[in-house]
Every structure is written in structure tokens, then in C-alpha cells.
């Protein structure tokens, strides 16, 4: 554990010293949020009935987009360390074999938490009015952390296997756009049937619905289990796959 | 405790269908600087990676300080320090932070003091607080080697420490490695340059196409080289010489 924290400290220092990574992680979702609230929001709201706070409505989707782009840096960091031989040096040290991976996971959790915090602050400025209780806030934080954890392990796979930097982060593009194909920004009622079935049942849809209920004080029902099942399922599969790749590739 | 720091027996390793190591044997004594000399692709790095527990051998055994790399990898890692083919320094951190990082990972009780002592020893005190990505190739390599000395590992692997460096930087690294000899640390050095092996190593093994084809001190290797021979080579006459010879003969006959 101690070694994992030492390596975590190193990576957090990296993040603080390369403001560009902070800016891309936070700015892209902020720009998206501005666009949805001020450009599309007005039009979307007309189909949603009165009393809908659109800033509240779109925030969960923006948060998922932020995390999806944030985890791509885990893949890039891993790839760069492997390419520069730093990873080999770390693995030849008398520290636990998995410490270099877990330090990346920890870095991802903390840096994404910071990004989410910034996004929520910006949303508050734009008119986000949460009506959840502290317990619900905790629940929202928990599901976001679980989502980040699952995607981070997913990101470790290309981080370990990619042949180029571009190859290491390209996996995040579909993830960033997946919230568009859900109820994250617009209601799904007007979508063609096939698309609508996908949009209502894909992994991010359930998580978006749960976050929305938790943050806006709606009733929380089945979506808890759907969201948890997706997050834990992705986490388990990605973790086992990543560890398999790590043990195979790194110790041929 | 045995006198052998590294023992490799009948080591074999293939990548897909390419057989890289075809039964490698050698032994390195404690405190010795041992050079593995071989051309590009001879399998030098593969041997180092197996010894550093980063790769598994297909067949054969490899021991470091009496610990088998497969059975006791964590004890092997506690005895070694790896300096890979490319200076593996963290460019985002300063030289001092790089050393402190490794010191902390090696459970050094006083990481800052260890770092400062090494910076001093390697002439990096002046640039200690500059980010390592601003260092010259030679400076980065010196920092890289300094990082390998944190924690006083019994065995240090230097994988092609001067490849890609200009001649001046090469001399700088040689000086550093020479200073390490006699400290009781065992060093396994790989290189493509005969001169480098000559300059630094107590003993040299020549790795060629996956096998060690010769081992010994420089003098022993020189003795086993073929002796100087004087050869008489039949020289074919040119057309002009033939012509002149024929013309000349005819004149003589005349």
C-alpha cells in the first residue's frame, strides 16, 4: 500500500505540472454543458413540459462524459511509462507487482473526482439546483466512483497493449459519445424504435437515470440495480481482462 | 554464501517462432564487472530481462545471488537494480525528485539525504531542481545510473548504457561505471562495442545468435583469437601483364 501511495504521489505531481491535462479534462465537458444549456436546452425544454430544470437534466450526462474523457489519461500515462522504460524499472523494484497498476487506478479516481467537483460547481453557477438529501449526494458520489473505477480498469487494457499513444486513448471516444445515445440530453420518446431501445438500455442510460434521480430528488427504483449491475459487471470483466493482459504481456 | 552473483544455465527463450536464446551459460562472480558483448538482436536485453524477473525463460535456470528468478522473484528483485536500454528517468520530475521517488520505493529511511549524496557524487547538484526532461543525454544517463545505486543493490544491470550517446557523453558514462568497480557491487553490462567491454569489464562473454561463443578476460580472449598468420596469396595477372609477357617472350624467342 505504501508503495502504491508513493507512485500515486508521483502521478498527481505529473497532473499538477501539466495543466493541459486538467484543462482538457474539465474544459471539454464545460463547453458541452454551456452548449447544451444555452444552445440546445431551450429547444429541448419545449418538448419536456414546464418546470423542468434543464441544467439539472443534462448534468448526469456531462459528468459521465467528463469521466470518460478523464480515464483516457490513465491509458496514456501507462503507455508512456511503458514506452520510456519507467514501467520496467518500477517492476524490477522490490515492490508489489500490482503497485504500478493500483497507483494508476488511485490517480484516476482522485483526478476524476476533482474534475467532477469542478463540473458540479460550474453547473451550480449555471443554475443547477439539486434537491437531494446528503445521503443521496453520497449515493451519487458512490455510483460515479464505481463508474470511474470500472472505466479505469477498462482504460488499463489499451494502456498496456497499445502500439502508439493514439491507440492508447482512442477507446475513450465511443465512451464520450455514448451519453448522446441515451436520455442524458434529450428525452428518448422521439427516437426511432431500434435506437430508442438501445438508448434506454445501454449501460450509461441506467447510470444517467440513477444519477438524475439521486441529484434531483426523484424516486429511486429499479435503476439502482441496473446501474450497479452495469458498473460492477464492467468492472469485473475489465479487471480480470486487464490483469490477464498484465500477467501475460508483462511476463511473457 | 556462494561466490557467484549471477548463474545462468542452458537458458532458452523464443518469441513466437523466433528462437532468441539457444542455451546460454555463464556465471558472474561477486564484485565483478561482466560484459555481455553482442550485436543488435543477439539476445542481450532478453537475458537482462529474464534476470530482472521481467520475462520468463522457456527453459534453463537463472539465479541471482542464489535466488532462482522463477521460484523467488521477489528476493531476486530485492537484490538487483535495473538500468534499461533507454534512460528511464521521469522527465516531469526534477533529478532530485527522481532519486527520492526510487529511494522511497526502496524503503529508504532518509530519501532526501540519499538523493543529495547521489546528486553530489554524479555531479548533478547544480541541476538537481531542474526537470529531468531538460537534461542532456549524458546527464539523463548519469541520473539513470544514480537511480540504480539507490538502495545499494548487490547486482546492477546496465543494459547498453552508452547506446545513442555521443563520444563525449560515452566517456562520461564510462567514468561513472569505472567508479562503481571495486565497491563490491556486481555489474552485468551489455554492449555492442568491443571497446566499451575492453574499457570497463573484468570479464567478457561474447553472445552471438543466442549462444555464448567465448568467455574470459580480455587477455584470455585475445589468446584464443587466431594467431597472426602470414599468408601468400596467388595474384592473378592482368590482361596487360599477359600481353606484355607474351609479347616479351616472342621478342626473346626471336
Q: Which distant-in-sequence residues (6+ apart) come within 8 Å of B29 by Cβ?
A: B3, B4, B5, B186
> Which of B56, B83, B105 has its CB closest to that of A93?
B105
Q: Which distant-in-sequence residues (6+ apart) come within 8 Å of A130 by Cβ?
A: A56, A137, A215, A216, A217
Q: Nearest to residue A211, comparing CAs of A36, A27, A63, A28?
A: A63
Q: State how far residue A117 is from chain B, nearest Cα, in angstroms.
A: 26
Q: Is the pLDDT of residue A208 over 80?
A: yes
Q: Which of A29-33, B56-60, B186-190, B232-236 has the lowest mean pLDDT?
A: B232-236
**Confidence band (pLDDT; 50, 70, 90) for A8?**
very high
Please provide the distance, in angstroms rounded to a whole number, between the alpha carbons at the two ends of chain B.
90
Q: What is the pLDDT of residues A103-141, one digit of tens each?
A: 999 999 999 999 999 999 999 999 888 887 888 889 999
C-alpha cell at B8: 545462468
A1 to chain B: closest CA residue: B105
> Which of A10, A13, A92 has its CB closest to that of B53?
A92
CB pairs A-B closer than 8 Å = 62
Q: Does ipTM exceed 0.90?
A: no
Residues of A in contact with B85 (CB under 8 A): 85
**Confidence band (pLDDT; 50, 70, 90) for B121?**
confident
**Stretch A53-62: mean pLDDT:** 89
User: pTM value?
Assistant: 0.84
Q: How far apart are CA A54 and CA A38, in angstroms?
A: 10
Per-residue pLDDT, B253? 45
Per-residue pLDDT, B252? 47
Give, in order, the Cα–Cα distances in Å from B81 to each of A77, A88, B27, B166: 23, 11, 18, 25
Q: What is the pLDDT of residues B203-222, one digit of tens each?
A: 999 998 889 988 888 888 87
Per-residue pLDDT, B254? 42
Cβ atoms B8, B27 nearer than 8 A? yes
Q: State how far residue A115 is from chain B, nearest Cα, in angstroms.
A: 21
**Stretch A1-26: mean pLDDT:** 86
Amino acid at each position: 500500500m505504501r508503495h502504491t501511495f508513493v507512485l500515486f504521489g508521483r502521478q498527481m505531481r505529473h497532473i499538477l505540472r501539466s495543466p493541459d491535462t486538467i484543462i482538457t479534462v474539465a474544459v471539454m465537458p464545460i463547453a458541452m454543458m454551456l452548449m447544451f444549456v444555452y444552445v440546445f436546452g431551450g429547444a429541448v425544454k419545449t418538448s419536456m413540459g414546464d418546470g423542468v430544470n434543464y441544467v439539472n437534466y443534462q448534468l448526469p450526462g456531462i459528468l459521465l462524459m467528463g469521466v470518460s474523457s478523464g480515464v483516457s489519461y490513465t491509458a496514456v500515462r501507462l503507455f508512456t511509462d511503458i514506452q520510456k522504460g519507467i514501467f520496467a524499472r518500477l517492476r524490477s523494484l522490490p515492490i508489489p507487482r500490482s503497485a504500478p497498476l493500483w497507483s494508476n487506478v488511485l490517480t484516476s479516481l482522485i483526478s476524476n473526482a476533482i474534475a467532477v467537483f469542478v463540473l458540479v460547481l460550474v453547473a451550480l453557477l449555471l443554475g443547477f439546483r439539486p434537491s437531494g438529501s446528503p445521503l443521496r449526494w453520497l449515493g451519487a458520489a458512490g455510483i460515479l466512483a464505481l463508474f470511474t473505477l470500472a472505466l479505469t480498469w477498462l482504460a488499463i487494457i489499451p494502456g498496456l497493449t497499445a502500439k502508439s499513444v493514439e491507440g492508447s486513448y482512442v477507446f475513450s471516444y465511443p465512451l464520450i459519445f455514448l451519453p448522446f445515445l441515451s436520455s442524458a440530453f434529450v428525452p428518448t420518446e422521439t427516437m426511432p424504435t431500434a435506437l430508442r431501445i438501445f438508448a434506454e438500455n445501454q449501460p450509461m442510460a441506467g447510470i444517467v437515470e440513477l444519477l438524475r434521480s439521486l441529484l434531483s430528488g426523484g424516486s429511486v427504483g429499479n435503476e439502482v440495480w441496473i446501474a450497479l449491475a452495469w458498473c460492477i459487471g464492467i468492472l469485473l470483466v475489465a479487471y480480470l481482462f486487464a490483469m490477464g493482459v498484465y500477467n501475460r504481456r508483462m511476463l511473457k | 554464501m556462494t561466490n557467484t552473483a549471477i548463474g545462468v544455465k542452458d537458458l532458452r527463450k523464443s518469441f513466437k517462432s523466433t528462437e532468441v536464446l539457444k542455451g546460454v551459460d555463464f556465471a558472474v562472480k561477486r564484485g565483478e564487472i561482466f560484459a555481455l558483448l553482442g550485436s543488435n538482436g543477439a539476445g542481450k536485453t532478453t537475458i537482462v530481462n529474464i534476470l530482472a524477473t521481467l520475462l520468463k525463460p522457456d527453459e534453463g535456470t537463472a539465479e541471482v545471488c542464489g535466488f532462482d528468478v522463477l521460484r523467488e522473484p521477489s528476493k531476486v528483485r530485492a537484490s538487483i537494480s535495473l538500468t534499461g536500454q533507454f534512460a528511464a528517468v521521469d522527465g516531469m520530475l526534477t533529478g532530485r525528485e527522481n532519486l527520492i521517488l526510487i529511494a522511497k520505493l526502496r524503503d529508504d529511511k532518509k530519501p532526501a539525504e540519499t538523493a543529495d549524496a547521489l546528486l553530489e557524487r554524479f555531479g548533478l547538484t547544480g541541476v538537481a531542481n531542474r526537470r529531468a526532461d531538460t537534461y542532456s543525454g549524458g546527464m539523463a544517463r548519469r541520473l539513470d545510473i544514480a537511480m540504480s545505486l539507490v538502495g545499494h543493490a548487490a547486482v546492477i544491470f546496465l543494459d547498453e548504457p552508452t547506446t545513442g550517446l555521443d563520444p563525449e557523453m560515452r566517456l562520461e558514462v564510462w567514468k561513472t561505471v569505472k567508479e562503481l568497480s571495486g565497491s563490491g557491487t556486481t555489474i552485468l553490462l551489455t554492449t555492442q562495442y568491443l571497446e566499451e567491454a575492453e574499457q570497463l569489464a573484468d570479464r567478457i562473454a561474447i553472445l552471438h545468435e543466442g549462444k555464448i561463443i567465448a568467455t574470459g578476460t580480455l587477455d584470455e580472449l585475445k589468446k584464443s583469437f587466431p594467431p597472426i598468420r602470414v599468408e601468400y596469396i596467388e595474384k592473378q595477372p592482368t590482361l596487360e601483364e599477359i600481353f606484355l609477357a607474351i609479347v616479351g617472350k616472342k621478342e626473346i624467342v626471336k
